[in-house]
Structure formats: C-alpha cells, structure tokens
Chain A
Amino acid sequence: MADPWTVEAHRLFKKHGIKTVGYVPDAGLTDLINACDADNDIKAVVMTTEEEGIGLSSGAWLGGEKAAILMQSSGVGNTVNAIASIVSSCQFPLFMIVTMRGQYGESNPWQIPMGQATAPVLRSVGVRVYEVDTEEDAVGAIENGLKMAFVSNAAVAVLIGQKLIGAKSFIADVAEEVTHV
C-alpha cells in the first residue's frame, strides 16, 4: 500500500493543476513518483540534478503551467544559486517536497550534516519552509503550500521528516543480510 501522505500529495497535485513533476528520487518519494509517472495528465521528469528542477519549474511557469519538484534533503544544496538568482529575482512560484535524511534515527553519518543544514539553507535564500512529522501536517502543508506558491508567487518547501517516512530508507538498512568488512 502506498504511503497515505503520498496518495494525498498526488491528489492535491491534480486538484491544484500541477502538470509537470520534476524529481531526483528518494526512497521516501517512491510512491509519489510512481503515482505521477503513471498519471497521463502529469509529465514526470527525472532530472540529473536538483538544480534542473528550478529551471524546469520556472520554465513551466513562463509557459503558463504549474510544476512541483521532488527531492531528497541532500539535493537541496544543489538548488541554492538557482533559487536565489532565478526564483527570488523574478518572484517565480516554487513548490518543492523534500524528504529528509540525516535527521531522526539516521544511520548514515554522511547524511547528517546536510540534513541539519536543509531548512536553514532554504530559508537563507527566501524559501518558506514547512517541516512536518505527521500525515495530517504533511497533507495540510502540501495543500497550503501549493496555494501559497502559485497564488502568492512564493517559494515553498515542505520537508517530510523521518518520523513520518521512517529512517530506514537506505538499502543497507533494510537488507536481510549484509557483510561487514
């Protein structure tokens, strides 16, 4: 069964007329990416780096459509200049869903520094950040974030916390057998 918040996120994308969804995958985003991929009314775009999402989203808006961007928290660093110089300078709407790593119960120490930096980095370039840890808060933040982004030309990021998506999204954490050397 798909994670309930991802089902709601997909429904809200449809309700708010999101036509393009750009993503760099994360385990916590799998169900939402699959739902967008399977939806003929949504152009699901796999990107090589999160920075492309800023161009993609802004370009879609220039052409009269709404886009949403999905990424893992470690990818946020790749978006910084594009957000600051394109989104902020031009007041483009921006809506991102960021699934968190390096947070609650993280088992990969290399994820922790960027996980801690994600929210302050986004805020430092003018993004409104909603950090959520429950289904209810996630759905509310996505609904209101979509509204705010596209009606108020705001940059909004909903950070989905590891309390909600679980810390065990890394393949080595869920494998039945691993060998240590």
Chain B
Amino acid sequence: MSELKLERADVMAKLMTVRGDALIIAGLGSPVWDVASSDHKPENFYLWGGMGCAISMGLGCALAQPDRKVWVITGDGEALMGVGSFATVASQRPANLAVVVLDNEHYGETGMQRTSTSHGADLAVMAGGAGIPTTLAITDMAGVDGLTAALTSGPLPLVAVVKIAASKPNLVLPARDGVYLKNRFRQAVLGATDAMHAS
C-alpha cells in the first residue's frame, strides 16, 4: 500500500479553482459528497447508483458537448468496476474529457473494505495500457497543482489517479431524485425549453 496522505477535501478545493464551466459527472459513493461539498451546482450530475458507469456516462456527455469540458470525478472502486471504459474512452479520444479517480484504496461506502488498488492494482497504469494518452499518478499537493494545470491547458483526454487518505468525506448530500438531477443538469446545459424536449 502506498502512503496515502492527501485529504480529499483539499484535493477537491484545489481542482474546483480551475473548474470554469466544466460539466461534472460524480461517480457513486464518496465522490458524490466530494463534488456536492466543494462546488454544488446544476452542472453536476450525481450518480446515486449505476456503479461502474461514471466514465462511460462522462464519455457520452463529452461526445455530445464537444465545446465544453467534462470531468468525471470518481473513486477507485467505481473506476475498477467499469475499468474497460478506459479503452472505450481511448478509442474515441475526446479532447474535452478528464477522469479524476480519488483513490483511497478502499470501498468507503460499504465499510472500508480494501479495493484491489491496495493490493497493487494501478489504475493510472491500467488507463495508460488501455490507450489513454495522458495519465497522471498523484500522491502529493505538487502533483495536484500539476493536475490543475493539465485540466486547464490539456491535452485531454486524461486520467488522473490521486491517492488520498481513507478519511471520511464531508457528508454533503445532494438530492436523490434522479429525474430532478437529470432535468436540472439538462436545463443548465441546454436551456429551460430545450431541456424538456428531444433534440
């Protein structure tokens, strides 16, 4: 197990300084609370289910909104469950998609069981092996500074794996109503009228 010293709240606060108008897909689990506590706004889609789908959802959104950045903020357990999506993203090379994995090496929501990343699985290497052109493995604040620079000036797509302490997230919970979250996101992106009609 590598040394886990970064605090997730500190990482999120730093990332949000360069968010701009990026759209965010938050993967099931603590990343939902992380995104809600650091920059709660309609342009966040919070996944309360569908474990393993955050990255593919980010890809779908990025392909549909090529002029906006799309960030997927997710955890190591969630990313592992949909790890094939690294290859799918790599085959599309969306120049507006960034995936940030907050890797505390544990399943935080279910009782802090260890994930495979605590046994040596390296998500940054897996992403690189899948063909993601830019991968970052981050263990300290200088690395997070590098990530903010990469998020700002690219090139994308990238996958960043940020090792964080297995500490409790700020429990800031957004709405659980999926229809509301969907429509709210679409209204923010498409405008009130277009959001409620098929394109």
B91 touches A52 (CB 8 A): no
A82 touches B50 (CB 8 A): yes
Which of A2-10, A63-71, A128-136 lines the interface with chain B? A63-71
B25 interface contact, C-beta 8 A: yes
Total count of chain B residues near the partner, CB < 8 A: 41
Which of A54-62, A96-104, A107-115, A160-168 lines the interface with chain B? A54-62
Give B199 Cβ to nearest chain A Cβ, in Å.
5
Measured in the bound complex, the distance between the Cα atoms of B199 and A150 in whole Å is 9
Residues of B within 8 A of A17 (CB): 198-199
A67 touches B198 (CB 8 A): no
B33 interface contact, C-beta 8 A: no
B58 interface contact, C-beta 8 A: yes
B60 touches A62 (CB 8 A): yes
B48 touches A89 (CB 8 A): yes
Measured in the bound complex, the distance between the Cα atoms of B87 and A49 in whole Å is 11
Residues of A within 8 A of B107 (CB): none
Measured in the bound complex, the distance between the Cα atoms of B87 and A86 in whole Å is 22
A48 interface contact, C-beta 8 A: yes
A64 touches B65 (CB 8 A): yes
B155 interface contact, C-beta 8 A: no
B60 touches A20 (CB 8 A): yes
A59 touches B50 (CB 8 A): no
When C-beta atoms are compared, the residue in chain B nearest to A59 turns out to be B60
Residues of B within 8 A of A22 (CB): 60
Give residues 39-95 of A contacting B (CB, 8 Å): 43, 45-49, 51-67, 81-82, 84-86, 89-93
A181 interface contact, C-beta 8 A: no
A59 touches B59 (CB 8 A): yes
Residues of B within 8 A of A (CB): 23, 25, 45, 47-65, 70, 82, 84-85, 87-88, 91-92, 178-179, 181-182, 185-186, 189-190, 194, 198-199
A/B interface sample: 30 pairs, CB < 8 A: A20-B63, A43-B92, A45-B59, A45-B63, A45-B92, A47-B88, A51-B52, A51-B56, A55-B55, A55-B58, A55-B85, A56-B57, A58-B53, A59-B62, A61-B60, A62-B57, A62-B182, A63-B23, A63-B60, A63-B62, A63-B70, A64-B64, A64-B65, A64-B186, A81-B51, A84-B49, A85-B50, A86-B47, A86-B178, A89-B49
Residues of A within 8 A of B (CB): 17, 19-20, 22, 43, 45-49, 51-67, 81-82, 84-86, 89-93, 150-151
